[in-house]
Amino acid sequence: MSKCIKITFTGNPNQDFLQKVVQKHARSLKVEGLAQGSEEGHFKIIVCGDLDTIDSFVDMIHKESVKALLKDIEIEPFLKDKDYRGVFRIIE
């Protein structure tokens, strides 16, 4: 069964956080979606995949949030509105 979630958080992680941590784990788990950050420190991640892989992805976010000093993490269900074509992208 497939599931999509939206993760939002604030903070000031290092610049490589989205590429080296989030995208790396997304690719290893074979989930699709996107991640986007802003200069104001607001981040959004949309991820879709199997239930177990989404749970693993969320576990990784919680684990890495301590190292990256992330705050106000919110996770909510998300209705897929785009075809991500099996790829996880970082939007800058």
8-45 pLDDT, tens digit per residue, is 999 887 768 888 999 999 999 999 999 998 888 899 99
What is residue 49's predicted lDDT score, i.e. its pLDDT? 96
Q: Edge to edge, what strands does the sheet with 88-91 contain?
A: 70-77, 2-11, 42-50, 32-37, 88-91
Q: What are phi and psi of 85, to 5 degrees?
A: 55, 35
More confident residue, 82 or 88: 88
Strands 42-50, 70-77: pairing is: unpaired
CATH dotted code for 2-91: 3.30.70.100
pTM over 0.85? The answer is: yes
For the chain, the domains span 2-91
What is residue 81's predicted lDDT score, i.e. its pLDDT? 82
Rounded-to-integer distance, Cα 38 and Cα 58, Å: 21
Rounded-to-integer distance, Cα 36 and Cα 7, Å: 11
Q: What rounded mean pLDDT belongs to the chain?
A: 92
The DSSP letter of residue 41 is: S
